[in-house]
Structure 1
């Protein structure tokens, strides 16, 4: 017995001494994925290795890695700049592992580079100079044209849910449904609720001289809470809105301009640190350079970039940038953009891009949002030039792109198969959007945003801002409107309203119908009939001032009120690139509710108190590069524009003796407007407009400059200290300026930086003239007592203010510099609401 025990002891001691040798010789395979602990986003380019070893594996763009070879330690180590190092103890004896490793973000200060009297400089600078010297060679804009196929996946989740928000019944229902569905809760114990996911297959086309682009959406798969119309969503879920070119000096992110780490002015904005290790990426030797802003208040990135060697002309191979809280963006906790590029005909084009947007808690009663986007590009074709007409639309969607097709195999076209968690997300969104409380909440939110409530498929009632008004003509005014949407018809749009005034005992109504001849070219024809109560100086049939402004202006004592009966027909189409043409024929009966007499020279100097005019209006607009999205209400909105100027021209001919018309006249109007960046100094927007009327007309047919007597509301289409109907012109020129400093000033003041307030300045001026004949034909008193011309001096007002108060409010402090009288206000304060980042 004793001998046996002694023998076993020797065997055990032998095995213990042999274990390091066996461990060293053991071949293992470790496959896994490295994720961000806070948002489960893949971490590309992380280093995975056995503790004590110098070599290992690097995660790919999707965070995946494979580590094969001899096992040299029981501890696996994972490192990446900007994250805490992670160590995992591996089970002994196992040779095949499948791991999901999550890293915790941290703040890492870069090492300081000391410049001595001998002239020592940062070793990264020499490489950066070569990168900048080769930018023109490597930048994709050097190509005449290029195109590729794109796969895009977008995902939106509700996260950072507060304890107060959890107590809401609708949120509790959603959390219960997610937990029942088996979706894992985050490591911090807080649930993440998926509310939207989309996949899109599209083709991107670009040309650089002149610069144009278009995206053709071939197939899109959309599911989300509150998302009903896939045709609308498919226009904004493709790759066209996820383009980032770090070779440009400025990179646009959330309507802000961030300086690129390889901009010509790189030394002014960034500190750099060279990683002396050489990385081989796709067989190309690369050097990593870490960077961070010199000043935290600057709109600049922090992160890393991988630069190729001399043989590949010091190109940008990979880049991983972060925008953190220091950027002072509204609601934004973090933005991360990771991009990988490949060489195509010597230029470098993006092959993969991943964007993560982390929206923090909006307030302590709500939660935040986590948005993820992934774009993979393939099948590149360069220098294949196409006709200019090909680029006429920024986004085109195949008619059946959003319709479900069971025969379509997404696994063959998407970049990689969906994970089990991805498939769960689709299932859970379908569950969440059918919860009764969620459906009710979605209806309420849609009503608040759009002003309409859906009462039947394709039919919507509204808007709430115009349901009631009180004024001196009608006393109480009640109104209800309606509009159809794409569920009613994609070819027809009907809309209108019916109102009634108690005091004047009169119905007011408006009805229009539009037929879409060709939706791709937005070719349409329509007809309208209306009989409404309007005001001279506020009514603008061609360019509405906005729903809230118009609704608020109908309260109180109306200025130059009149009944307005209109019959109108029009035709509109897009032609060329960024060009829109419109022609309309309109007959109007003007029935004033104020003292009004004029001499009609076109009718043998007849004295009239009302009139009828018939107009033929032709309009042309040129807006190169503007992105227009078709909405579910069969309208279009501009969601993104470049910095190019936009132009508009209008000619109006008053047709005499036609359908009872009293006048013949000619009107000309032209407008140019543009917004462009001024680098670190912010963004400037200007609008220049002019008009000329050739003939003698009563003042309601002249240019009555838009004033604003509303005590609270600010309007960017009005002169905000000018009274309604105060000035009239038959020829004029106006200029509007607004400069947003984008945090350049207030980000340097600690208090304002914490509040995230932003400073802006405005200046508006208009100069006009009025022919004596136009003055003399009006015989009634109001024109003499109130209407004035601008011949002696222009009207000028300047302003300044703060926006982003409580992340929504904007306050304008305005000074009227000229054209003072006893009734004018020389200073005013106006409020408006605008959500910006």
Structure 2
């Protein structure tokens, strides 16, 4: 996949790349004198049992500088501020304060003395590393099983009716040392930005917030029949200007930072699935230790449990739970983190904390949830990003039903004044106040995007990363990666195109290009336009739009690309013979109507003329025994009415200007396509009907990873020549394509009825993490199976019917196109992903039809994938 096209349809990735380029990719300017760094590290243990203590607070008294010990009891604190001592504090132990030497690296190993007087009741069980861990006769495991047994009655879903108010705040910040941020050329140019540095969040670092998003919503839940409704009352976010897809960034942030439910078996964070410490199978994957029993200020007796994964590299947490001992066994608080051994790209630290408060009926309900993530290229790099999402819950109301009609319609409803609330309103509804730096981010970004120099910088950065360059306020040219390409038919090909921007019109979008092949000496053209019937942007969900287009260009039969242009320069490099193309002249009309429940339909009409190019020929089969030369056709003309029905319940997607990228979730996506050939309409030569059903679903298998499964089937009614049969998706490039057969040649197989199954399984490091030398690489394993079976009825077989066209042949007369009547086409692959955090390489094996000419049974393919 082309890197530029990939970034163009990933708004958040594009934003991060732009920010890295603008804020950190520029030369840093002359070196300035840096303050000396004080580094303090070591481990903290129990002075009695020698047990290493998890979660000990390590801080500089009188400041906000601090950290905590990891799952092995280790800590590290770095700062450029003047410090003279550091303090260690832990529940159930006496505090310890030690002197430090400013400006030096030093190791302080600390032994804390238990102090039972701090608690009204303490029972120390203590994990002893010299004793082999066992679930048997382990009171901590017995308690976890009681928590699991009582999970349902402690979940919101146990209530017949439930409603509450939710406030959430999400922020992203640039991270570096204060000195490096202050001498960055870009930031120094806009020195007012530097006034917004915050040095209180990360020890020894400064954060510069560049994204803040807030939302206030009411949530409603009904048990029977199960329904959920979310009413968004207010929404506020920074505006990056016209060069960044602001809504796309917001959607991606929501996808990254999903709601965390400790009672779910698997918890999605940063596109990965983590096993909950109170999952049904948690005792098989976690180690548990009963640390204390504590009487809280309210008089509630709580048990404190420590937990850690049996395999430190698995997608699990390390931390502590506080659980009620009143017979309900509800979680009262959880603090957990992901160990550094877990293979999460660009994540240096990730922490989750949740608090639960006792409600009206005595049950504990979530009151606050906090996720903090420190992103960086490496563990030791100063530069990076810091992300935080804080969600507060209040005004719980139980057993207050709403009218049945209230739950009708879309599950998400936006207030008419969602983005128009006053600052006084926000001050009244914020359950979690903004820091000074966060509050100033709104005005700082507003000032920045108004500056001409900023917009010039972003214009060139967008051209470099996303492939489109502004040509005035209303038009941008691109994609740059398609300006030059080559193929055996056209030879050297030049293309120039562009599209209108939102400044031209939010309801109308126009795009066009022209191209010229120096070998075939032909001009190619495309012009298209979309008109929104909703009053919003053409791409704003739910879409209700009309699109018309005209195309005169080449196409490779059997190549079906998503998000990438066929004349992408990287796709010019292909294996084998690739000289059978089509010249297409197509008129297309489409109407798309989407609904809030993610059902949509698309009506269309197209008329297109196909002419053979290169070595491809349209040769009529002719009568059996006829001595005359078979008739050679110069083109085929077809008119077709189309209908597409799509259902994707609760679908999330990332919306760009030209592409919408679905985000894989638990729900299936079902697409039904139908088409009818209209003989006689605009010189159409054929009457036929087509129907195809495609079903996609991702299956999460917890610690075993996940599988993407696609099942598809289709049928064509009527007599048609081979260009109108189903030409199965092939791939002769060296890029791995998930939806294509990567060792199949273009035009190798056709069918008028078929069924296929694709399974792509990601182990997410489950195997490699258990191999000592490989687990440090953070590689991920993939296996894939693709199977296709089909046939061509006798009426569409050239050997049996003189009215259809001969199947294509190679220059030496060998057959090039086949049916699948004898056996299915099968290929499989094993792959290694996360190479350099981006790349996946697959070794593909073709298992059937190995006797066909110009095919390989083995091949290496690579693709690019951005994922955490």
Which category of TM-score, normalised to the shorter sequence, fits these structures?
0.7 to 0.9
Aligned equivalents of 2:93, 2:492: Cα separation in 1: 63
Aligned equivalents of 1:186, 1:199: Cα separation in 2: 19
- Distance change (3 Å), C-alpha of 1:739 and 1:41: farther
Gaps of 5+ in 1: 1-33, 45-74, 90-103
Give the TM-score normalised by the residue count of structure 1.
0.79
Aligned equivalents of 2:731, 2:132: Cα separation in 1: 63
- Distance change (3 Å), C-alpha of 1:119 and 1:756: closer
Q: Is the 8 A contact 1:137 1:346 kept in 2?
A: no
Comparing 653-662 with 799-808, greater Cα deviation is found at 653-662
1:591 match: 611
1:785 match: 815
C-alpha RMSD of matched pairs (Å): 4.1
Q: For residues 155-199 of structure 1, what are the alpha-carbon distances to aligned partners after superposition, in whole Å with 9 as ceiling and x for unaligned?
A: 11122469999876336657x655555754877554333222222
1:823 match: 854
**1:505 and 2:505 aligned:** no
Work out which of the residue numbers 632, 643, 658 in structure 1 matches 2:681. Answer: 658
Q: CA deviation at 1:606?
A: 9.3
Comparing 180-189 with 566-575, greater Cα deviation is found at 180-189
Q: For residues 206-236 of structure 1, what are the alpha-carbon distances to aligned partners after superposition, in whole Å with 9 as ceiling and x for unaligned?
A: 4566766554433222226568565555555
Q: CA deviation at 1:315?
A: 0.8
**1:581 and 2:601 aligned:** yes
Work out which of the residue numbers 591, 595, 610 in structure 1 matches 2:635. Answer: 610
Work out which of the residue numbers 637, 642, 663 in structure 1 matches 2:665. Answer: 642
Work out which of the residue numbers 612, 627, 633 in structure 1 matches 2:652. Answer: 627
Aligned equivalents of 2:554, 2:408: Cα separation in 1: 41
Aligned equivalents of 1:150, 1:818: Cα separation in 2: 56
**1:515 and 2:535 aligned:** no
Q: Is the 8 A contact 1:549 1:715 kept in 2?
A: no
Superposition pairs for residues 402-441 of structure 1, below 5 Å?
Answer: 402-403=419-420, 405-406=421-422, 408-426=424-442, 428-429=444-445, 439=455
- Distance change (3 Å), C-alpha of 1:423 and 1:750: same
Q: Is the 8 A contact 1:203 1:218 kept in 2?
A: yes
Aligned residues: 749
Q: CA deviation at 1:679?
A: 2.4
Aligned equivalents of 2:732, 2:144: Cα separation in 1: 56
2:346 match: 331
- Distance change (3 Å), C-alpha of 1:526 and 1:248: same
Aligned equivalents of 1:600, 1:545: Cα separation in 2: 41
Superposition pairs for residues 331-730 of structure 1, below 5 Å?
Answer: 331-342=346-357, 343=359, 348-361=364-377, 367-382=383-398, 384=401, 390=407, 393=410, 395-398=412-415, 400-403=417-420, 405-406=421-422, 408-426=424-442, 428-429=444-445, 439=455, 442-457=458-473, 459-503=475-519, 504-517=521-534, 522-538=542-558, 540=560, 544=562, 546-547=564-565, 552-553=570-571, 558-575=578-595, 577-593=597-613, 594-598=616-620, 608-631=633-656, 633=657, 636-639=660-663, 641-710=664-733, 712-730=734-752
Comparing 570-579 with 677-686, greater Cα deviation is found at 570-579
Aligned to 2:773, the other structure's residue is in SS state helix
1:200 match: 215
Aligned equivalents of 1:208, 1:284: Cα separation in 2: 30
Aligned equivalents of 1:670, 1:316: Cα separation in 2: 45
Q: For residues 454-490 of structure 1, what are the alpha-carbon distances to aligned partners after superposition, in whole Å with 9 as ceiling and x for unaligned?
A: 3444543211221111223333322233334444444
Greater Rg by CA: 1
Aligned to 1:517, the other structure's residue is in SS state coil
Superposition pairs for residues 65-464 of structure 1, below 5 Å?
Answer: 79-80=89-90, 87=97, 111-112=127-128, 121-144=137-160, 146-160=162-176, 169-170=185-186, 173=189, 177-179=192-194, 183-184=198-199, 189-206=204-221, 213=228, 215-223=230-238, 230-235=246-251, 241-280=257-296, 284-310=300-326, 313-342=328-357, 343=359, 348-361=364-377, 367-382=383-398, 384=401, 390=407, 393=410, 395-398=412-415, 400-403=417-420, 405-406=421-422, 408-426=424-442, 428-429=444-445, 439=455, 442-457=458-473, 459-464=475-480
Higher relative contact order (CA 8 A, sep 6+): 2
- Distance change (3 Å), C-alpha of 1:739 and 1:249: same
Aligned to 1:648, the other structure's residue is in SS state strand
Comparing 291-300 with 740-749, greater Cα deviation is found at 291-300
1:797 match: 827
Q: Is the 8 A contact 2:593 2:602 kept in 1?
A: yes
Q: CA deviation at 1:417?
A: 3.7
Q: For residues 597-623 of structure 1, what are the alpha-carbon distances to aligned partners after superposition, in whole Å with 9 as ceiling and x for unaligned?
A: 33799xxx9974322211111111222
- Distance change (3 Å), C-alpha of 1:436 and 1:571: closer
2:79 match: none
Aligned to 2:169, the other structure's residue is in SS state strand
- Distance change (3 Å), C-alpha of 1:729 and 1:107: farther
1:67 match: none
Q: CA deviation at 1:796?
A: 0.8
- Distance change (3 Å), C-alpha of 1:345 and 1:364: closer
Aligned equivalents of 1:814, 1:397: Cα separation in 2: 47
1:836 match: 867
- Distance change (3 Å), C-alpha of 1:191 and 1:768: same
- Distance change (3 Å), C-alpha of 1:473 and 1:190: same
2:779 match: 757
1:25 match: none
Q: For residues 127-173 of structure 1, what are the alpha-carbon distances to aligned partners after superposition, in whole Å with 9 as ceiling and x for unaligned?
A: 32321221111122334554432211111112246999987633665
Aligned equivalents of 2:737, 2:308: Cα separation in 1: 40
Aligned equivalents of 1:392, 1:451: Cα separation in 2: 39
2:39 match: none
Q: Is the 8 A contact 1:152 1:237 kept in 2?
A: no
Aligned equivalents of 1:107, 1:482: Cα separation in 2: 67
Comparing 407-416 with 233-242, greater Cα deviation is found at 233-242
Q: For residues 561-611 of structure 1, what are the alpha-carbon distances to aligned partners after superposition, in whole Å with 9 as ceiling and x for unaligned?
A: 22212222222223473322212121112222232133799xxx9974322
Q: CA deviation at 1:270?
A: 1.9
Q: For residues 338-361 of structure 1, what are the alpha-carbon distances to aligned partners after superposition, in whole Å with 9 as ceiling and x for unaligned?
A: 112244667654221111011123
- Distance change (3 Å), C-alpha of 1:107 and 1:130: farther
